[in-house]
């Protein structure tokens, strides 16, 4: 691998790392905000189980992001293909969990605002 390819490779991994860092921040912030507004905005909420799923999915996103960041650092140190595939899996899991949590919260909000 030439030096230019090596630099590009490192920059791509930095982007993945930053993406995971932002997902972890958004997920953590979402948990804090949801925990503070659920009781005050929705007086008699329906479909409360959706909120539980939202919190679980956001927690999965946080854990997946942390594991993904760890495996990216490990991959840059060892260059093992296993760490690379793991970091991609964690990135997909984190992003998918975050998007699913947003969809579920939108469903919960729509149900309770329209009821």
CB-based contacts of 29: which residues, under 8 Å, 6+ apart?
none
DSSP 8-state symbol, 2: -
Taking the C-alpha atoms of residue 11 and residue 17, their distance in angstroms, rounded to an integer, is 10
Distance of CA 47 to the CA centre of its chain: 23
**pTM of full prediction above 0.75:** yes
**Domain span holding position 70:** 3-114
The domain tally of the chain equals: 1
pLDDT given at position 114 = 85
| Nearest by Cα to 28 from 4, 60, 3 | 60
The per-residue pLDDT for range 53-91, each reduced to its tens digit, is: 999 999 999 999 999 999 999 988 888 888 889 999 999
The structure tokens listed for 38 are 């659920």
| pLDDT tops 90 at residue 7 | no
């Amino acid at each position: 691998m030439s030096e230019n390819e090596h630099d590009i490779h490192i920059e791509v991994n930095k982007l993945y790392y930053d993406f995971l860092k932002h997902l972890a921040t958004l997920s953590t912030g979402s948990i804090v905000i949801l925990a503070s507004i659920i009781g005050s905005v929705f007086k008699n909420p329906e479909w409360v189980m959706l909120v539980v799923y939202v919190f679980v999915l956001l927690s999965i996103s946080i854990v997946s992001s942390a594991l993904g960041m760890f495996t990216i650092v490990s991959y840059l140190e060892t260059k093992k293909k296993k760490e690379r595939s793991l970091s991609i899996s964690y990135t997909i899991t984190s992003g998918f969990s975050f998007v699913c949590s947003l969809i579920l919260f939108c469903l919960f909000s729509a149900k309770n605002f329209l009821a």
